[in-house]
């Protein structure tokens, strides 16, 4: 079927300049250039210009549907259907701001049934396009109302909470919008998200983690310090349960972002984060997950409790050392930072010996010598780590030549 379609020459003016695919819903900007609605709406969410002309486009711009071109495309596709060309259906008309605002006003419903109906109708609308999601985010007070619904319904009406969570997570909220939500009642919202994370519904847990990541990223340090211990317990449990790869990455982002505060590091360690993170490395995660895992370990090894937990794990030091020069430059840098923290602050005679026997010291030697693979700062950290216990490691026959070359007596 695909081979037959490739033999049909598609008119160039049927093709979207962004996706390079046949347009299904062509719309024209004020600049006079026509794009597929989905592609240009996604583009305008992050860039306020016309992709081809580079001319500015107003944030409230509503592209004009090009009905004539759409009908030409539909006719052409029908004519070439026997060659495998997919038919283009007539798109649904996009929602207007008044309709979205009217749906938001229904979220003040006094009964759970009416509120649930309003949320489901609103979800159907925003799921249709990025434009509709943008319209919802622009309705004054819409995000605040959704956050209030989540806060009020997390336990009493889980279905209502789940629908509101799904809607709000589909929006690309600005920092200003998030700050307003936090200012309103961050403690109640965090508590509601923790309640959702404690459920068995994997989809709702994933949505709660996404919103928690957004909220904590916008919090001030003074608010982050006061996060309840249960936040870290639930993030660690989410990692342990392996709900999904996106959920795992989200939980790691939360841990990395919240453990910049010293007390939160201890909370995460007490929640059992370190052994779970090491076990994740043992499972051989993808590159980005590995980088986030090592970044989290680097944060947690900034406190004595975190370093102690790493050393206490049977394969903790060895597993971190294994990631050096194995995954990416960023992973190597984070792993070297962890090893430096251990060597500087938690290096008993047994740990020093373990680092030599498991090949960690050898990896550090390679980092120092790898000018092309590692950054200068990473090589400096590796060299600093080696110097801390160079005398003890020189006694190892396999390491002696390297260390003598790097640090001659």
State whether the Cα torsion 190-192-197-203 is positive or negative: negative
Q: In the predicted model, is pLDDT for residue 137 greater than 80?
A: yes
Confidence label for 305 from pLDDT (cuts 50, 70 and 90): very high
User: For 236-262, what is each residue's pLDDT tens digit?
Assistant: 999 999 999 999 999 999 999 999 887
DSSP 284-347: ---HHHHHHHHHHHHHHTTSHHHHHHHHHSTTHHHHHHHTTTTS-HHHHHHHHHHHHHHHHHS-
pLDDT of 398: 55
Lowest mean pLDDT of 86-90, 230-234, 369-373, name the range. Answer: 369-373
Dihedral-angle region of residue 27 (phi above 0 means left; psi in -120 to 50 means alpha; beta otherwise): beta
User: For 314-360, what is each residue's pLDDT tens digit?
Assistant: 999 999 999 999 989 999 999 999 999 999 999 899 999 999 999 99
pTM: 0.79
Q: Alpha-carbon distance 348 to 362, whole Å? A: 19
Q: In the predicted model, is pLDDT for residue 395 greater than 80?
A: no
Q: Is 152 exposed, middle or buried (0-12, 13-18, 19+ CB in 10 A)?
A: middle
E strand or H helix at 193, and its extent?
Answer: helix 175-197
pLDDT of 408: 54
Helix (H, G, I), strand (E, B) or coil at 127: coil
Task: Select from 60, 30, 212, 65 the least CA-distant residue to 134.
Answer: 60
pLDDT of 5: 45
DSSP 254-300: HHHHHTTSHHHHHHHHHTTHHHHHHHHHHT---HHHHHHHHHHHHHH
Confidence label for 155 from pLDDT (cuts 50, 70 and 90): low
pLDDT of 158: 87
Q: What is the mean pLDDT of residues 219-232?
A: 92
Residues 6+ apart with CB under 8 A from 364: 324, 336, 339, 382, 385, 386
E strand or H helix at 34, and its extent?
Answer: strand 34-36
**Would you state the structure tokens that stand for residue 9, as one six-digit string?**
């020459």
Confidence label for 2 from pLDDT (cuts 50, 70 and 90): very low
pLDDT of 405: 57
Q: Alpha-carbon distance 195 to 142, whole Å? A: 23
Q: In the predicted model, is pLDDT for residue 389 greater than 50?
A: yes
**What mean pLDDT is reported for the chain?**
88
**Residue 27 near residue 35, CB atoms below 8 Å:** yes
Which whole-number Å values give the CA distances from 284 to 65, 278, 281, 288, 311, in the listed order? 48, 10, 5, 11, 20
E strand or H helix at 28, and its extent?
Answer: strand 26-28
């Amino acid at each position: 079927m695909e081979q037959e379609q490739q033999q049909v020459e598609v008119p160039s003016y049927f093709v979207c300049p962004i996706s390079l695919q046949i347009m299904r819903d062509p719309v024209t900007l004020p600049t006079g250039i026509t794009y597929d609605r989905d592609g240009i709406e996604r583009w305008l969410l992050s860039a306020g210009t016309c992709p081809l002309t580079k001319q500015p486009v107003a944030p409230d711009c509503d592209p004009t549907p090009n009905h004539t071109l759409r009908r030409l495309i539909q006719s052409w596709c029908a004519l070439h259907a026997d060659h495998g060309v997919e038919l283009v259906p007539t798109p649904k008309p996009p929602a207007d701001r008044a309709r979205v605002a009217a749906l938001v006003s229904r979220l003040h419903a006094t009964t759970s049934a009416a509120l649930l109906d309003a949320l489901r109708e609103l979800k159907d609308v925003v799921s249709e396009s990025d434009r509709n999601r943008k319209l919802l985010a622009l309705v004054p007070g819409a995000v605040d109302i959704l956050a209030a619904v989540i806060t009020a319904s997390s336990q009493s009406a889980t279905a209502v909470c789940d629908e509101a969570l799904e809607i709000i997570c589909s929006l690309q909220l600005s920092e200003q919008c998030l700050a307003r939500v936090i200012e309103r009642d961050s403690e109640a919202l965090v508590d509601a998200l923790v309640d959702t994370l404690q459920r068995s519904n994997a989809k709702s847990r994933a949505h709660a983690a996404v919103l928690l990541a957004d909220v904590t990223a916008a919090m001030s340090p003074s608010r982050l310090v006061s996060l309840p211990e249960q936040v870290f317990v639930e993030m660690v449990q989410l990692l342990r349960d392996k709900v999904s790869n996106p959920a795992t990455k989200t939980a790691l982002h939360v841990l990395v972002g919240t453990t910049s505060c010293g007390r939160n590091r201890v909370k995460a360690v007490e929640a059992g984060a370190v052994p779970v993170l090491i076990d994740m490395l043992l499972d051989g995660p993808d590159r980005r997950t590995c980088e986030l895992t090592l970044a989290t370990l680097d944060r947690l090894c900034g406190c004595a409790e975190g370093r102690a937990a790493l050393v206490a794990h049977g394969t903790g030091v060895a597993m971190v050392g294994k990631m050096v020069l194995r995954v990416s430059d960023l992973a190597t840098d984070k792993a070297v930072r962890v090893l430096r923290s251990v060597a500087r602050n938690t290096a008993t005679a047994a740990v020093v010996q373990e680092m030599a026997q498991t090949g960690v010291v050898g990896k550090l030697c390679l980092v120092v010598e790898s000018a092309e693979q590692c950054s200068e700062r990473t090589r400096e950290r590796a060299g600093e780590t080696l110097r801390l216990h160079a005398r003890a490691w020189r006694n190892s026959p396999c390491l002696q030549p390297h260390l003598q070359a790097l640090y001659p007596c």
